[in-house]
Amino acid sequence: MTGTDLAAQDAPPARPGAPAVSGATRLYAVLGDPVAQVQAPAMLNPLFARLGTDAILVPVHVRPGDLDTTVPGLQRVRNLDGLLITVPHKADCLRFADEISPAARLSGSANALRRGPDGRWHADNFDGAGFVRGLRAAGHRPETATVCVAGAGGAGSAIVVALLLAGARVTVWDTDTARVHRLVERLAPTWPGRVHAADGPVDADVAVNATPLGLRPDDPLPFTPDRLRPGTLVADIVMKPRRTALLAAAEACGLPVHPGAPMLAEQLALYREFFALDGPGTGAPGPLATGGEPAPAAVET
């Protein structure tokens, strides 16, 4: 019996449902700081299993100061096919792409990068499309809504773009006022009169927390629901915990709520296309890459 056989004999049994990993397994990584809260591995690894794809998605905890060494290093790993990006790296990771989709260019951020057959890296952002799809799946109509969004970072900017593409009128605010004004100035020429900056929540049909506030138990609320008008839908993109402090406070005020999980769940079909998980020829970004609507003609692809 060889040493390899002995090692296999002594190895603990695989956990039920755990993906089988071999030397041929393709790799994907989700980068964040923190990363313990990410839900993507629990959703994409079962998808790989259902599709019969020999691949695995793993969480990678990367501090902002380490991106310049970590991302280029991962991009040199020959059996790594893609990266998912979460807080706080979505804007910063855009610079590691060779080609950028209209959705990512407009929002100034990316939450997915894939390696093309030619070795070039393609960036896209599906946060906004997933959020809008999640609203629609829950019976809400963003195309007729006025929406106020807290947060002009990577996820927030992508959500603002997707809402505008869907037909909504959007007001956005952030503690970083310069970031808000840069976002509004970038989007206003494409959607004149439909996107505005503010110092805080305004009267709207939907109020969205698109900040990381709520990930930690001691986080302050991103805004106070008791100042919203009756009937305002309060949406949170934080996925863990599912019932965030903001949603609990909104429910206590009698307001309807929308949790963060649908935003990721609705992105699965988009990731499936983007990463060509159904086989060759299905991975080229299409109209869905900008939230299900054609990209504005003025936007360079």
Pair 79, 142: CB distance under 8 Å: no
d(CA 43, CA 49): 10
- Cβ-based neighbour number of residue 262 at 10 Å: 20
Identify the active-site residue in 90, 105, 133, 179: 90
User: DSSP E strands: which ranges in 53-153?
Assistant: 55-61, 80-85, 99-100, 112-115, 121-124, 146-150
90 flagged as catalytic: yes
How far is the CA of 71 from the CAs of 15, 63, 84, 181, 205, in angstroms? 30, 11, 11, 29, 39
The alpha helices in 114-260, defined as continuous H runs, are: 127-137, 154-166, 177-187, 245-252
Which residue has tokens 């809260």? 37
Pair 293, 166: CB distance under 8 Å: yes
Contacts for 253-260 with beta carbons within 8 Å, 24 or more apart?
A: 253/225, 253/226, 253/228, 254/230, 255/225, 255/228, 255/230, 255/231, 256/231, 256/232, 257/233, 258/134, 258/135, 258/138, 258/140, 258/206, 258/233, 258/234, 259/235, 260/236
Active-site residues: which are they? 90
